[in-house]
Amino acid sequence: MSIETDSDNCQRTESSRISDLIISIIVCLFIVFFVGFINLLFVHWSLFPIFVCGVIIGMDAVGWFRSRWDVFDPKGIIGVFGLFFFFVSPLLAIVWEVEVPYVPNPSDWRPWYGAMACLNILGLIFYNLFQFMAFNSKKPLKVSHWNIDPNRAMIVAPVAFLVAFIGQTIFLAAFGGWSGIMDWREYGAGFGIRGMGPFMLLGHSAPPLLLIVLTIVYMKERLKKQASIVTVSVVLVAFLVCQFYVSGLQGSRSVVVWGLFWAVGIVHFFWRRVTIKMILVGLIPFLFFMYIYGFYKTLGRQSFELLTGAETIENLQVESKRTFKGMLLGDLSRTDIQAAIVYILQGKPYQYDYRFGKTYLYSAVAYVPYWIFPDKPHSWSKNAAGTEVQRDKGSYDPYTPGKKSTRVYGLAGEAMLNFGLFGIIPLFALWGYFTGRFRRKLLARHSTDAFLLLVPIFINLAFITLAGDSDNFVYFLIDKIAVPFVVVRMMCTKQIFFVVDGNIVEQMGEV
């Protein structure tokens, strides 16, 4: 089995969660009372639905901390991230009295935080219900086992990595090296370069392909021996060096962070088991990187002056308008913008027209080349919908600076832009169903299944779906998953089998 607990154990865990519920209630109560203790002015009815959200999703976070599931089980990871997303960040928004730019701010945002929390309660109920139903389904489960062909893998994987590395080098040269990349980040120079998409796509796949090559070699030589901390550290450093060569100065923190998540997942499944303690310790440099790299994303070269002492963090905060608070609520949360959407749709300071699924359709064609689809309906885009919900109907202009919002609205936010307040229910239900089905298949896989090389990035997709939009989802599939998926499939044979109640009942030949 690929995970320490089998499916029967996990199903028993699902039916006996009283202690997790009690701990979740106690922890969330303590935090809510602490917020009220800081300042009685923070006490408001909105704290109750926020508390309920924390209790519901907190049960999964508690289960993860108590090692009820594998450390890379998506249920636990979603629980931990969701505890911050649904509970901690709304409390921080109340304590810090956050206001939303461009939106005509009401006198008090707390009722709208509370209203959004009420909607999140409904969403989380449907997420848990459909996740439970999909995971505990009694229907036969079709699972494919990917067997690595050593001879084929030792040719396919290294060649794929070499091609990807060359592709990144060509892409970098087209921009005039790292200096050209930084000019592009700061001034838009080089933006007109056409035809570089395939090379960029190949380049972004180079870091995970490098780790896949190293993992294949390790599996071939020392399959049953757990790697040492030193070995794992060297492997991760090599991965990070490659990752920064590929995307270190392009201004995207998520590329580096989620790439590292993938790398740690591969290490966990094939090299050495990662513990909760390791992950918690790793969160410290993660938050530090997110915060510091934000200065480069906004200021470019000027941020390097922090290293020489010519600039201070305080000065960079003022010039970039990026703070630690902003990172927590702007980069890792959607509390403010989702509450603002509820306010606009319910309070109606101006008119907004629902998109009825158009933003999802636009995301599906957004990355089709213009020479194939030159007349894309930009008015269907998430950017158009988001601009109009923040600045009034007809305010969107994709070609005028300041009239195009590029904010991210999250799973619930985009659902409300399309279908209204209760549009989040079917989206959360779908999210729960696919998460539960993915978990069920994951538990049926053997520890040597090569598909586990891709599992971490699918787990990543499962929980960032909560904070991302449909265009981010499509981009993630194309940019992060497509090339490595094809490479891993090419180096494997696939065997199909069916699982009923945790037992293999029928097995087919190799494909």
Q: What is the pLDDT along the chain (511 residues), one digit of tens a residue?
A: 343 333 444 444 555 688 999 999 999 999 999 888 887 778 899 999 999 999 999 999 999 999 888 999 999 999 999 999 999 999 999 998 887 777 887 888 999 999 999 999 999 999 999 999 999 888 888 888 899 988 899 999 999 999 999 998 988 888 777 777 777 766 654 454 566 778 888 888 999 999 999 999 888 776 557 888 899 999 999 998 898 888 767 767 778 888 899 999 999 999 999 999 988 888 888 788 878 777 777 776 677 666 666 667 777 776 766 777 777 887 789 999 999 999 999 988 888 999 999 999 999 988 887 778 878 888 899 999 999 998 888 888 877 767 788 899 999 999 999 999 999 999 999 999 999 999 998 988 888 899 999 999 999 998 889 999 999 999 899 988 999 999 999 999 888 877 776 565 556 555 5
pLDDT at 140: 81
Tell me which DSSP letter residue 267 carries: I
Q: What is the pLDDT of residue 12?
A: 44
Interatomic CA distance for residues 343 and 416, integer angstroms? 11
pLDDT given for residue 188 in this prediction: 57
Tell me how far CA of residue 26 lies from CA of 51, 201, 417, 498, in angstroms: 11, 47, 35, 42
Question: Token match 């787990």: residue?
Answer: 459
- State how far the alpha carbon of 299 is from the alpha carbons of 46, 192, 251, 328, 467, in Å: 37, 21, 10, 19, 25
SS3 assignment, position 508:
strand
Tokens of 147: 């067997």
What burial class does residue 168 get, using C-beta atoms within 10 Å of its C-beta: 0-12 exposed, 13-18 middle, 19+ buried?
buried
CB 471 within 8 A of CB 26: no
- Residue 500 pairs with which residues in a beta bridge? 503
| Distance separating alpha carbons of residues 434 and 135, to the nearest angstrom | 9
CA distances from 55 to 31, 60, 66, 90, 125 (A): 11, 9, 16, 14, 11
Amino acid 16: pLDDT = 63
- Nearest CA-CA partner of 10 in 121, 194, 136, 97: 136
The residue assigned the tokens 């239900």 is 429
Give the per-residue pLDDT at 6. Answer: 38
Per-residue confidence (pLDDT) for residue 130, from 0 to 100: 97
Sign of CA dihedral 220, 221, 225, 226: negative
